[in-house]
Each structure stands twice: as C-alpha cells, then as structure tokens.
Structure 1
Amino acid sequence: MYTITNIYVLAAFGTIGGALFGFDISSMSAWIGADQYLEYFGSPDSNLQGGITASMSAGSFVGAVASGWLADGLGRKGALMIASVVWMVGAALQCSAQNVAHLVAGRVVSGLAIGVTSSQVCVYLAELAPGRIRGRIVGIQQWAIEWGILIMYLISYGCARGMAGPAAFRVAWGVQGVPGAILLAALFFFPESPRWLANKERWDECLDTLALLHARGDRADPIVLAEYDEVREAARIAAESRNVSFMGMFGRGVWKRTMCGVTVQMWQQLLGGNVAMYYIVYIFRMAGMTGDTALYSSAIQYVIFLVTTGFVLPYIDRVPRRLLFLVGAVVCMALHFAIAGLMASYGHAVPDIDGNANLRWELPGGGPAKGVIACSYIFVGVYGLTWAPAAWIYASEVFPLKYRAKGVGLSAATNWIFNFALAYFVAPAFTNIQWKTYIIFGVFCAAMFFHIFFTYPETAGRTLEEIDLVFETNTPPWKSGRLERDAFQRRVEAVRHQKKEEDVEVGQMEHV
C-alpha cells in the first residue's frame, strides 16, 4: 500500500483532527443567538446553555484521559482511526437531535473523539517531525482548529440565513461528519510513529519509517542513522521502566515535566480564549450589535484568529516558546482589564437585550462599544500569535518517550476540564457579574506570567531527546535558552565521520 511520507502532507491531513475541535466550537457559537435554535430548544437560560456548550468538553475530558492508553496499545494511527468513527457517530446524533438531552448526548460523543484527536495528533506529529521544524508542524494543529471554527461558522451562518426551521441546524451539524470520514480514509496511507514502533521493539519498521520520512527511503543516510540512534537510546531508557504506573508521571525527575505539560494547557484556557470563541455573539450584542451585524463581526474575529496563527507558524521555531507565553500573557491581561474598564465605566444594567434575558449589561453605541469590539479583535490576534499554537506545541514536547502518550493525554484532559468549567461558567457570568468576568481573566493572565517565568524551561529548536537533557540539568528556566542546541547535529557529524572512515577502510582493502 502507498504510504504518504511528506511531513507537510501528513500534517495537513493529520490535523483534520484539530479541525474537528474547531467544527464543534462554532457549531454551537453560531447558533446560540439564532431564532431556529432558540425556538426549537425553548430558548435555554444561561445555566442550561452553559451546560449544552460545556457538554462537548466533558466528553473530551474523558476521551483525552483514555487516549494515552489507546495510543500506546493500538498505535497513534489506530487511536485516531477509532476517534474518526466516534466523531461521525456524534455528528449523526447531533444532526438528529430531538431535544436538549439528545443534543447533549451527541456533543458528549463528539467530545470523546475530540479528546483523542486533540492530544494524540500532537503526539503523532511531534514524533514524525524533525526537531528543526517540529514547532510549525505541531502548530498546524492549532491552525486546523481555527480553519474548522471559521468553516463551520460560515456553514452555520449560511444555513441560518437560507433555511427555515430545525433543518437549518440539522444540515450544519450533519456536515460535521465529513471531515471525520476524510481523516479516517487518509489514515490508511499514513506511516506509524517511529517512536511507537521503537517502543514496541519493531526496529526494522522504525528504521524504514525514519528513512522514508527524512531521506526518501535511504536507510544509510547520516541524518536517519543519527535519529535512529537517538530513538534507540530513548527507547532503551523507556524499557528500563516499562511497567511504570500512571503516578510515575508525578515521581522524581518527571513531575516538573508533568507540571509544565499540564499547566500550559490549563493556562491556555484561563487566558480567556473561551470568552472570545464560544460567546463572541453575546459580547457583540452587549456592545450594541444585532442580527447580521453581530454575525458578520463574529466571522471577522475568526478570520483574524486564522490569519495571525497562519502568519506565525512559519517562524514559530525561531521564536522562544517562553517569549510567546510571557508576551501573550501580559498583552491579554491588559486587554481584559481594558474591556472591563470600558464596560464598567460606560455600560449599564438592563433586564434583557432584544428579549434575550441571558444578557443583562449593555453598552451605548459609539466609542465605548467600538473600544470593546477593537479590544476583542486585538485579543484574538494576540492569542492566535502566541498561546493558541504554542501551548499545544509545548505540551507535545516536554514528556519523555515512556510517558509521552499518557502525558500529553493528561495535558489535553486538563485543557478539556478547564474548557468544560469555563464554557459552563462564562454564560451565567455574563448574566450575573457582567464586566467583572474580564477582571477574573485578567488576574489569571497576571498569575500565569510569573508561573511561566519561574518554572518553564525553553524547548524551541531542540530534538525531543535534547529536551530530555534540558529538564535533567539544574539550570534555572529563565536561563535554559542558553543551553547548547547542537547535540543532534554533532551526532549527525559523528555518523558522517564514521561512515567516511568505513568507506576509506573499504577502499584500502579493495586497493590491497
């Protein structure tokens, strides 16, 4: 069977798993203000709407927790194939929803699939990609999420405008199954992760895969042999502790890495992206936008998100991960406080907005409203440039081989449990504490700045095996960027030197 070996093609198809996440985000955000949805499901109040929105995250949490065992047992490909099938089942359930309970069940099932894909696509691509471009390859996952958000939003908008009654959201939710089918078909032509093959002691397949990925099948290429040596060494270390328990991730020598992988996903959620992604229609309606204007403005935000992440991906391996995190936290903190200040200073309480009792704070038109909208757009742009891609990349890098699948699964589970909490919290927060919601997220941004500065070592531009060495040193995290990065290149040169010596010896023997 033909095997795809171009890493960019693999990333393009593999990150359809990320697009599934994006589809599910906007499959709800696009409908929470639509008449067809509100009439059919009885205009859910803020608590019920929060539960409907968060139900996907609940399923994703369970899927992410289970994904490590699934990917270790069946392989990265096998786990993603199962997730693709589950996703199509979830799309069918949502499409046929007869009531709120039915819809929630469909979103939970879809969430199970997203929990697997959101964690294991990162692991799979990180294990396939060479260290020099790993950031941009794994970062495509986030870009795919944003494409999914925009595409699904536009599909939903078209259905809402062109179709009457429940058929509008049924068609939109049914279309979600298509990318799952494409991913499933593509996976039959994907190679298995060479690191997973090494972990199963399938060495010939491991070497063949590395050769296909990095040297067009040349098993004797120095780069292939150098990486093969690194993989063998990492697998040897992993084999020495093959029967470690899940709690081993919190043991000596590993807990710092687990802390980094888990908290980077926690902070990505607490940065406030959910406010922008799930409930942007609420924000714009409080700022005086109604009907099509609010929907157009939401679409503009998703385009900004897509463009900024697409802009940074080609350069993301040249920029320190710590710099992206720290700058993103500071700027987003300032924007949260600015929005809170504008809403508190110029807004006022109302019983509802256009009959929607979930919205009880309103800004007058003009400068203050435009200021909130502008800050929301800038926030999304900064988020797309920094935390949106970098958090997924960092979580896929920090774990050693023996813990990687389970560790990234735990990290993704952390993302999803906070996603669940915030998706549920934000709707009633806008109803009950209004502008103070932004104060809470601003404080989170301040806290994450200090936590990252003092605890996160630099990982950009290193192979996965070099990152192991970074964590094993006692260098303070804020100085870790100065540690040598050329260990892999030195290994390549050593292999080349050894090969030259062998060629010379062969030549001398032939001469004799």
Structure 2
Amino acid sequence: MYRISNIYVLAAFGTIGGALFGFDVSSMSAWIGVDTYTDYFGNPNSNLQGGITASMSAGSFAGSIAAGWLSDYLGRRGSLMIASLVWIVGAMVQCSAQNVTHLVAGRVVSGLAVGVTSSQTCVYLSELAPARIRGRVVGIQQWAIEWGILIMYLIAYGCVVGVSGAAAFRICWGIQAVPGLILFIALFFFPESPRWLASKERWEEALDVLALIHGKGNRNDPVVQVEFEEVQEAARVAHQAKDVSFFSLFGPRIWKRTACGMSVQMWQQLLGGNVAMYYVVYIFEMAGMTGNTTLWSSAIQYVIFLVTTGVMLPFIDRIGRRTLLLSGSVLCMIVHFIIAGVMASHGHAVSSVNGNANLTWEIKGSAGMTVIAFSYIFTGIYGFTWAPTGWIYASEVFPLQYRAKGVGLSASANWIFNFALAYFVAPAFHNIQWKTYIIFGVFCCVMTFHVFFTYPETVGRSLEEIDMVFDTDVKPWKTNQIENTFGAEIERKEGKINEVDASHEEVV
C-alpha cells in the first residue's frame, strides 16, 4: 500500500486529532449565550453549565490515561484509528441529545477520543520528525486545535443566524463527525512510528520508515543511519525495561522527566487559556457587547490565536523551549493583573448582564474596550508561547520505553486541570468576578519560577540525545550549553561517505 512520506503532509492529516479537540471546545463556547441552546436545555445555571462544558475534559482525562497502553499495544497509528471511530460515535450522540444528561454523555464519549488523539498524535509526530524541525511539526498539533476552534465556531455562528430551533445545534454538533472520518481514512496511508516498530523488533520495517521519511527512500543516507543507530540503542534499553507501568514513571531516573511533562501540561491550563477559549462570550458580554457583535468579537479572538501560533511555527525550533515558556508566563501574568485592575476599578456588581444571571459583574465604555483589547493581547501571547510549546515539550522529555505512557500521563494532567477550570470559570465569574484574573496571574508567577529552575532545554536535539540532557548534573538553566552530539554525528557520517566516494573515484 502507498505510504505518505512527506512529514508536513503527515503532520497536516495527523493533527486532525488536534482539530477534534478544537471542534469540541468551540462547539460549546459558541452556544452558551444563545437562547436556542439555553431554552432547550432548561437555562442551565453557572454550576450546571460548568459541568456541561467540563464533561468533555472528564472523558479526555480517562482517554489520555488509557492512551499509553492502547498506543503501546496497537501502535501509534492503530490507537489513532480507534480514537477516530470513537469520536464519530460521540458526535452522533451529541447531535441527537434530548436533555442535559444525553448531551453530557456525548461530550464524555468525544472526550475519550480527544484524550487519545491529544497525547498520541504528539508522540507519533515526535517519533517521525527530524530533530531539527520536530518543534514545528509537533507544534502543528496545537495549530490544528486552533483551526478546529475557529472552524467549528464559524459553523456554530452560521447555524445560530441561519437555522431556527434545535436543528441549529444538532447540525453544528453532527458536523463534528466529518474530520473524524477524514482522519480515519487518512491513517490507512500513514507509516507506523519507526520507534514503535523498533520496540517490537521489526527492524527492517523501522529502517524502511526512517528511510522513507528522512532519506527519500535511501537507507544509506547519513541522517537515516544516525537515527537508526539511536533508535536501535533506545530500543535495546527499552527491551530491558519492558512491561513499564505507570508507577515506573516516578522511578529514580524518570521522575524528573515525568514532573516536567505533567507540570508543563498543568501550567498550560493554569496560564488561563480556558478563560479565553471556553468563556470568551461571557467576557465580552460583561464588557458590554450583545448579540451577534459578541459572537463576531469572539471569532476575532480565535483568529488571533490561529495567526500567532501559525506565525511562530516556522521559528519555534530556532528559539529555546525555555525562552518561550518563561516569556509567555511573565507576559500573561502582567496581562491578567491589568485586566483584574481595570475590572475592579471601573466595573460594578449587577444582578445579571443582558438577562444572563450567570454574570454578576459589568464593565462598559472605554474600560470595557480595554478589557477586550487585553483579552486579545493575552490570546496572542498564549498563541506565540505556551499553546504550542507545552505540547512539544511534553512529547520530548520521555525515553522510548516510557514515551507513550509518559505523554499519556502528561496529557491526563492537562485534561484534569482542563476539567477543573472548565467547571470553575463559570461559577468564578458569577461569584468572585474580577478576582478570577488575580488567581490566574498568581499561577503565572509561580510557573515562571518552576520553569526556570526545573526545565532543561530540549530544542534541536534528537529524542535519544534528550535522555543525556536529563541524565547530566547540569543545571536546567545551563543545559543549552551542552554540545549537540546528534548534529556532530551526522557530520561524521557524511565525512565518511565522502571519503568512501573519493576513494572509489581514485580507484576508477
């Protein structure tokens, strides 16, 4: 069977798994302020709406926990195929929802699929991509999430203004099945991960895939040879530690990597992205917007998110992971505190906003426009920094034998905090209003110190070379000074090949 060999084409189709996450995010955010939805489901209060929104994250948490075993048993490609089918079922259940319980069940099923795709797409692409462009390839996962958010939001907007009654949200939620079907079909033409093949001692297949992706089919290409040697060594170590359990991720040599992988996913959520993504309509309603103006203003925010991440991807492997994470947390902290200050000094408590009893704080006029402007700025900073880098970093830090389960566990940290915040933000806007932003600002402050003192630099290194970075005693803030041996080994191989070619020419 024909196999796709271009890494960017693989990333484009593979990261439809990320788009599934984005579809589910905005399939709810667009509807929380629309009468068609609220009337049909009994005008859910802030606690119930938080639960509905968070139900997808609960399913994703369970899916990400199971993803490691599924991926190790069926392969990276096989696990994504199963997830695609589960996603289609979830979309069908949501589309046919008759009440809140029915809707929550559909979102949980969809979440199971997203839990697998959000973790194993990163694993799959990181194991295929060359080290020099791994960041931008894995980062396409986050970009796909943002495409999914925007596309589904625009579909929802079209349904709001163009379709009447319950058919509006049913069409919107049913369309979610389409990208799942596309991903399922595309995966038949994907190669399996060479590192997974090596872990099963399928050496010839592993070398063929490496040659297909990195050497245009040439098994003797220097990059292919170096990659294969490193994969062989990693597989040998992995074989000695087979039947890895989750508990082993907290063993003496691995716990620091697990802490980095899980915490970077946790901090990505606690940075405050949920405020901007799930409840952007609430923010703009508090700032004085109404009706379609609120929906279009929210769409602008999603466009900013998409553009900033897209602009960053070509450069993300030239900038250190630490640089992006640290600058992002500091700048987002400043923005959160500014928004909190403006809302506190220029807003006032109300019984409801535009009839929405879930909102009890209002800020209008120029102050409201300031809040909206800084919401846009926050989204841009998030898109440039933590949004793509959090997924990239978590996919890089684990050795082969721990990678699938490690990234799955890291993604579970993302999803459990995603669940908590999706549930927390709606009641927070109701009960503590502007103080919500103070909480997120404090989180940003804490994560800045955590990243600086515990996260080694991984940019530009092979996955096997990153093992060496973690095993040294070099302080995390000095790890960028460690020599990149992967690049030196490729140069050595190329030199040997050139010498052989020169000798052959002399003989001739």
TM-score bracket for the superposition, by shorter chain length: over 0.9
Q: Using the TM superposition, name which of 461-470 and 274-283 deviates more.
A: 461-470
Where does residue 279 of structure 1 map in the other structure? Answer: 279
2:423 aligned with 1:424:
yes
Aligned CA distance change for structure 1 residues 483 and 166 (closer, same or farther; 3 Å): same
Partner of 1:149: 149
Aligned-partner residue type, residue 177 of structure 2: G
Q: Distance in 2 between matches of 1:7 and 1:169?
A: 36
* Corresponding letter in the other structure for 1:144: A
> How far apart in 2 are the matches of 1:260 and 1:306?
26
Q: How far, CA to CA, are the matches of 2:363 and 2:503 in structure 1?
A: 81
State the partner residue of 2:492: 494
Tell me by how many angstroms 1:505 deviates.
7.5
Identity percentage of aligned residues:
71
3-state secondary structure, aligned to 1:484: coil
Deviations 1:9-47 (A, max 9, x none): 000000000000000000000000011101100110000
Whether 2:237 is the aligned partner of 1:213: answer: no
How far did 1:246 drift? 1.8
TM-score (norm 2): 0.98
Change (3 A) 1:48 1:502: same
Are 2:386 and 1:390 aligned?
no
Structure 2 unaligned blocks of 5 or more: none
Deviation (angstroms), 1:500: 5.1
2:220 and 2:477 mapped to 1: Cα distance? Answer: 39
Deviation at 1:507, TM superposition (A): 7.7
Q: Deviations over 1:139-168 (max 9, x none)?
A: 000000000000000000000001111000
Q: Does 1:411 align with 2:410?
A: yes
Matched, 1:182 2:178: no
Structure 2 residue matching 1:318: 3-state secondary structure: coil
Superposition deviation, residue 214 in structure 1: 1.0
Over residues 188-239 of structure 1, what are the superposed CA-to-partner deviations in whole Å (9 max), with x where a residue is unaligned? 0000000000000000000000001111111111211111001101111111
> Aligned partners of 1:132, 1:223: CA distance in 2, in Å?
11
Structure 2 counterpart SS, 1:399: coil
SS, match of residue 316 in structure 2: helix
Q: In the aligned structure 2, how far is the partner of 1:17 from the partner of 1:188?
A: 15
The amino acid across from 1:199 in the alignment is S
Per the alignment, in what secondary structure is the counterpart of residue 83 of structure 1?
A: helix
**1:221 aligned partner, one-letter code:** D
CA distance in 1, matches of 2:290, 2:495: 69
1:58-82: CA deviation from partner (whole Å, max 9, x where unpaired): 0000000000000000000000000
Separation in 1, partners of 2:481, 2:161? 55
The alignment of Structure 1 onto Structure 2 pairs a total of residues equal to 508
Counterpart-to-counterpart distance in 2, 1:157 and 1:503: 62
TM-aligned CA deviation for residue 490 of structure 1? 2.2
- 1:285-337 CA-to-partner distances (Å, cap 9, x unmatched) read 00000101111110000000000000000000000110111111011001111
**Partners in 1 of 2:153 and 2:501 — Cα distance?**
60
CA distance in 2, matches of 1:183, 1:159: 24
Q: Tell me the distance in 2 between the aligned counterparts of 1:48 and 1:8.
A: 41
**Could you tell me how far 1:493 is from its partner in structure 2?**
3.0
Query: How far apart are residue 489 of structure 1 and its match?
Result: 2.2
Q: d(CA) in 1 for partners of 2:353 and 2:430?
A: 11
- 2:140 and 2:494 map into 1 onto residues whose CA distance is 32
- How far residue 241 of structure 1 moved from its aligned partner, in angstroms, is 1.2
The answer to which of 189-198 and 349-358 deviates more is 349-358
Q: Which residue of 2 aligns with 1:483?
A: 482
The answer to whether the aligner puts 1:201 opposite 2:185 as a matched pair is no
What are the superposed Cα offsets for residues 95-137 of structure 1, whole Å, 9 maximum, x if unpaired? 0000000000000000000000000000000000000000000
AA aligned opposite 2:423: Y
The 5 A counterparts of 1:23-422 are 23-365=23-365, 367-422=366-421
Which amino acid is 1:416 matched to? W
Give the AA of the match of 1:250: F
Deviations 1:426-471 (A, max 9, x none): 0000000111100000000000000000000000111111111110
Q: Distance in 2 between matches of 1:279 and 1:187?
A: 33
For 1:56, the aligned partner's letter is M
Normalising by the residue count of structure 1, what TM-score does the alignment of the two structures yield?
A: 0.98
Q: Distance in 2 between matches of 1:457 and 1:493?
A: 25
Separation in 1 of the partners of 2:297 and 2:287?
A: 11
Q: 1:327-356 CA deviation, whole Å, 9 max, x = no partner?
A: 110110011111111111111111111111
How far apart are the structure 2 equivalents of 1:85 and 1:245? Answer: 27
- The equivalent of 2:454 in structure 1 is 455
Look up the match of 2:2: 2
1:482 CA displacement: 1.1
Counterpart-to-counterpart distance in 2, 1:258 and 1:154? 38
Mapped partners of 1:211, 1:73: distance in 2: 24
Which 4+ stretches in 1 moved above 6 angstroms? 504-508
Quote the offset at 1:378 in angstroms: 0.1
Deviation at 1:497, TM superposition (A): 4.1
